[in-house]
Amino acid sequence: MFITKMAQDLEEVVVGDKTFRIVSELGKGGQAVVKKAYDSASRKKVALKIMWKEFVSQRQRERMLHNVKIEITAMRNLRHQNIIQLYGYDLSSTYKNRECIVLVQELAKCGELFEYVQHTGGFEDLLAKKIFKDLMSGLDACHRAGVAHRDLKPENILLDKKYCIKIADFGFVNFFRNNETQEERRMRTRLGTRTYMAPEIELTRNYTQAVDIWSSGVILFILCSGYPPFKEPQDGDWFFNKLDRRKYQMFWAAHERRFTFPDVVKPLVEGMLCTNPDNRWTAQDCLNCEWMTNGEELEERDYRITMQDRRDRIDAIRNQARPVENEQTPSATRMANIKKGGNANRALEDEKEGVVVFEAAQMLNNSWRDRLRDIENEGSLREVFGLMAEENPKLSSLAEVEIINLEATLEHLHTLVSSSDVQQCIELDDEKANEMLELMRSTLSDRPWDPIFQQYINLENDFPLELHDKWVKPTLFSFDTMLGYGLLCVLLAEFAEGKGEMEVDPDNRTIDLTFETEKTQEIPTDETCEAFEEITVDVVLTIRFSLYRVERDGELIGNKLLVQQVSQDFAAQDDFKWIVNEIASMDDFIVARIDPE
């Protein structure tokens, strides 16, 4: 297998006698990336799962190759309309000069089920029934073949161009039955996604394919209501506790303060979320239940129309109007003047065809600190002091000031922010020390200089942005902006202060904001379910901001900011959209926006 670069700027991937041209990125994780591609001969569209062969030890390498071979064997054995198909693979490939394994798979062009539930809410009864039936049909085919998926969740359930359900991502798959001897074995590895993980995986490390039924039961609950049945499968969770103790009346009474479940669905959920795996329903039990067999079905045409409507609603959120400009802060006014070509006293290096990228080195820098950082001896230091005296007459005697500790002054003066620290280096009274610091505080962004600004400047210089093009997977929210990576860090840090935590990942040019909040929910006070009380539920929301540069004909025209929710807490959906709109309403954010041409 080899990869070349085409004149049309499309990469070619050759697997056996077939050549695939990569079109865009569908998703990526720590050790893999999924690309949309097409067969250059037949034009058939496919998904390429590319897994990096980079290991810290030989044991890790052997384990990874062993797991991939199981994944390939399982997918080759599974031929079902509700399971993603494997067309081909290569165990010894190279992509972007990195050794990798490539799986050529069926393309599901309408995305993840997760996105539809996350952004449009719970599904109507017949719609949920249609999707769940297809999911169970695919899972039943897996279990009949002796295959356990072990990571079922809405992100791993895809939809093709006709919105047909496809079970995908068999990276955690394993065989629980020898198809020749029919002997079954138990599995022990702890894996999966916490919200959908069956309790026996954590408790016993000794489990069967019934873990897939548990995960599907959580998915069914989410399909119907738009939120999960519990936060975590542990006894301290009130809702899980009621399931575990079979106090179903209390479980449903609490949930139906928010959403009314059809009575015919409740026994199905209870059977799938039975904490004793020996008594848990099978896929066939689910398909034969009253809800699945009562004759009420959604016509295929109506199903597609309904799903297309939900897809249109997601697109509408992406394209929604942005907040209007309010009265601007001094920082935003300064940025607006630069954007219009004003402030001729200070040039910006990356101004091209009237478009400015607000880089940290310009917006967050202080020229006096730059000069003080570069001095190497007392003579140079006093020269800078003289220039500061020319700038501010109140510092007229600064060039002759007594230097208390020359070594400390040369090394640290450019980093100091308090008058008392300055006075430990040079002999100044409080008034003159503050006047000196006033000169050292100004930045082009009109924010007082902060020591962390230099870190942001270094990040921006050391980690240039990657190009935003057709390879990059779109997110719910995106903005064309003139913000550089450093200034974006500053804006998000200001927003998160006192509200949440910020984590910067310069390697991937991302910034995560994490917020913790509490939401109240009513639960019955006893088994009569006649009286209710409120409990608080912890909600964690993590939002990821990814910044890319945008070029046209090789010229920089601005940056692209992609925003997505990476935490899986459905209770945080409204908070996510509210926070993104609040950030988009910040003055500097508005000024830095690039309006569509």
Report pLDDT digits (tens) over 393-404. Answer: 999 889 888 999
Q: pLDDT band for position 316 (50/70/90)?
A: confident
Report pLDDT digits (tens) over 67-116. Answer: 999 999 999 999 999 999 999 999 888 888 888 899 999 999 999 999 99
Q: Which two tokens stand for residue 122?
A: 């719970």
Q: Using the 8-state DSSP alphabet, how is residue 501 labeled?
A: E
User: Which of 410, 441, 472 is the last residue in one of the domains?
Assistant: 441
Could you give the maximum distance between any two Cα atoms of the chain, in Å? 95
- Look at residue 427 and tell me if it is in a domain: yes
Domain co-membership, 96 together with 125:
no
Q: What are phi and psi of 398, to 5 degrees?
A: -65, -35
Give percent helix, percent strand, percent coil of the chain, each to the nearest 5. Answer: 40, 25, 35
Domain co-membership, 455 together with 436:
no
Domain co-membership, 554 together with 580:
yes
Q: Which two tokens stand for residue 169?
A: 């991502």
Most confident of 300-304, 333-337, 371-375, 395-399: 300-304
- Look at residue 403 and tell me if it is in a domain: yes
- Indicate which CATH number applies to the domain containing 52: 3.30.200.20
Q: What is the pLDDT of residue 518?
A: 84
Contact 82, 166 (CB under 8 A): yes
Residue whose pair of structure tokens reads 């798959």 in the numeric block: 173
By CB neighbour count within 10 A (0-12 exposed, 13-18 middle, 19+ buried), where does 164 fall? middle
Q: Using the 8-state DSSP alphabet, how is residue 325 labeled?
A: P
Closest by CA to 149, choosing from 140, 162, 158, 161, is 140
Report pLDDT digits (tens) over 549-583. Answer: 988 888 888 899 999 998 877 778 888 988 998 99
Average pLDDT (1-19) is 61
- Look at residue 478 and tell me if it is in a domain: yes
Q: pLDDT band for position 9 (50/70/90)?
A: low
- Mean pLDDT, all residues of the chain: 87
User: Which of 91, 106, 121 is the last residue in one of the domains?
Assistant: 106
Domain co-membership, 139 together with 101:
no
* Residue ranges making up the domain that contains 287: 113-176+186-318
Closest by CA to 572, choosing from 88, 59, 227, is 227
- Indicate which CATH number applies to the domain containing 236: 1.10.510.10
Domain co-membership, 172 together with 271:
yes
Q: Which two tokens stand for residue 43?
A: 């034009």
Domain co-membership, 131 together with 62:
no
The residue type of 280 is: R
Domain co-membership, 466 together with 548:
yes
d(CA 369, CA 80): 66
- Look at residue 323 and tell me if it is in a domain: no
- Look at residue 325 and tell me if it is in a domain: no
Share of the chain above pLDDT 70, in %: 91
d(CA 363, CA 522): 49
Report how far Cα 432 is from the mean position of its chain's Cα atoms: 49
Q: pLDDT band for position 301 (50/70/90)?
A: very high
Q: What is the pLDDT of residue 7?
A: 35
- Look at residue 352 and tell me if it is in a domain: yes
Q: pLDDT band for position 325 (50/70/90)?
A: very low
Average pLDDT (444-466) is 90
Domain co-membership, 418 together with 437:
yes
Q: What is the pLDDT of residue 344?
A: 33
Q: What is the pLDDT of residue 329?
A: 59
Contact 444, 346 (CB under 8 A): yes
Average pLDDT (492-512) is 92
- Look at residue 597 and tell me if it is in a domain: no
Q: Which two tokens stand for residue 462?
A: 């050391």
Q: Per-residue pLDDT for 356 more than 70?
A: no
Domain co-membership, 478 together with 565:
yes
Q: What is the pLDDT of residue 328?
A: 56
Strands (E) across 455-499 are located at 477-481
Q: Please give the tally of structural domains in the chain.
A: 4
Instruction: Give start and end residues of each alpha helix (H) in 299-429.
Output: 300-318, 330-339, 360-363, 367-374, 378-391, 406-412, 419-423
Closest by CA to 135, choosing from 187, 123, 119, is 123
Q: Using the 8-state DSSP alphabet, how is residue 2 labeled?
A: -
Report pLDDT digits (tens) over 22-74. Answer: 888 888 776 788 989 998 889 999 999 999 888 778 888 888 899 999 999 99
Q: Using the 8-state DSSP alphabet, how is residue 358 labeled?
A: B
User: Which of 50, 76, 106 is the last residue in one of the domains?
Assistant: 106
Share of the chain above pLDDT 90, in %: 53
Average pLDDT (461-479) is 83
Q: Per-residue pLDDT for 352 more than 50?
A: no
- Look at residue 351 and tell me if it is in a domain: yes
Average pLDDT (123-145) is 97
Domain co-membership, 299 together with 391:
no
Q: What is the pLDDT of residue 293?
A: 94
Average pLDDT (199-210) is 91
Domain co-membership, 525 together with 395:
no
The residue type of 587 is: D
Q: Which residues are catalytic?
A: 151
Domain co-membership, 430 together with 579:
no
Strand, helix or coil at 7?
Answer: coil
Q: H-helix or E-strand containing 274?
A: none
